[in-house]
Structure 1
Amino acid sequence: MKKITLSIILIVALSTAYSCKRQNKEIQSASPTTENKEIEEEHHSEDHSLVLDNGERWIANPETTLGVEKMQQTMNSFTEKDNVAAYKKLTENLELDFKMIFQKCTMTGAAHDQLHNFLIPIKDLLKTLPSSDLKECQESFDQINKHLLIYKTYFK
């Protein structure tokens, strides 16, 4: 009986803590300054297009840049472009790098939103890269490669 009571108390405490933490984040994000609100509206467009920061590149944290460079290296070292099975392993390696970018990201605000706009197409392409159709694998590979190259156009 004590274990059940203790378990219920623990679950309620964790739920309350999570709820408070989430509510606090919502309160903080619900009261941006007018300037921040305009930036958020501009950068939260549904098309997820990348834009520069008033003509300048966004400042990315070093770990993010290293993660993107690691993905580029992984792509550049891939030599089995005619082996459909090899794309599965490539996808696994790229997904590890992709997850690391998210784990080590310390970016905030509009720069962070733009990073997500950059990463969303990669996430989608990683779903089609390990296809059973060699042509689809190769097309996804080419699109990821091209997309990774535009990172330095938008981030420094």
Structure 2
Amino acid sequence: MKKIKLMALSLSVAFSFMSCKQESADQDHDMHDATEEMHEMAADEHEMMDDYHEAEQVSLNNGERWVVNEEMKPFVAEGEKLVAEYSGDYKKLAEELTVQNNQLIKSCTMEGTSHDELHKWLHPHLEMVKELGDMDNQEVADKQVNEIKKSYQVYHEYFQ
């Protein structure tokens, strides 16, 4: 009976040791997966910015900027102000920009080519704001905020 207890105890210790070893290997594997996922996210974000720059470019109206209806301008201005005052809370910034963008869209009464040209700017801009809200990395988010700031500069190049 003593031998059986001793054997059971030995097996129990052996299984515990193997379990710890497997858990450590699982943790190493999880760490590797997390690192790989971060690299994939960085590549995706880089690709997203390439897509933005390669998106259909806004054009001028015979060399002149397009006129935007007055009701929309305050929401663009407020969005720019929020980006200029950005202090590091990118989740809050994304939420506030989303509110401004939603108001911008609701106030749109533009039609025709000017409306189409505005959408060439607006769609990538909306996507950048959405992605900012989904980010979990401060450094990457700060770069995204700079891209949003550049988006507002593009707006002013093509719209008045």
Is the structural similarity TM-score above 0.5?
Answer: yes
| Number of residue equivalences | 106
Unmatched 5+ stretches in structure 2: 1-53
Give the partner amino acid of 1:54.
N
Secondary structure in 2 matching 1:144: helix
TM-score using structure 1 length = 0.64
1:63 equivalent to 2:71? Answer: yes
Q: Distance in 2 between matches of 1:53 and 1:79?
A: 36
Give the partner amino acid of 1:78.
Y
Q: Distance in 2 between matches of 1:92 and 1:66?
A: 17
Q: Distance in 1 between matches of 2:157 and 2:101?
A: 19
Find the counterpart in structure 2 of residue 134 from structure 1: 138
Find the counterpart in structure 2 of residue 108 from structure 1: 111
1:76 equivalent to 2:48? Answer: no
What CA deviation, in whole Å up to 9, does each residue of 1:12-52 have, x standing for no partner? xxxxxxxxxxxxxxxxxxxxxxxxxxxxxxxxxx9421000
Query: Where do 1:87-98 residues align within 5 Å?
Result: 87-98=90-101
Secondary structure in 1 matching 2:120: helix
1:53 equivalent to 2:57? Answer: no
Q: Distance in 2 between matches of 1:53 and 1:149?
A: 17
Q: Percent identity?
A: 31
Residues 1:63 and 1:137: Cα distance change in structure 2 (over 3 Å): same
TM-score using structure 2 length = 0.62
Find the counterpart in structure 1 of residue 153 from structure 2: 149
CA contact under 8 A between 1:60 and 1:107: conserved in structure 2?
yes
Larger Rg belongs to? 2
Runs (4+) of structure 1 exceeding 4 A deviation are none
Unmatched 5+ stretches in structure 1: 1-45, 81-85
Secondary structure in 2 matching 1:63: coil
Which structure has greater helix proportion?
A: 2
CA contact under 8 A between 1:128 and 1:136: conserved in structure 2?
no
Q: Supply the RMSD in Å over aligned alpha carbons.
A: 1.5
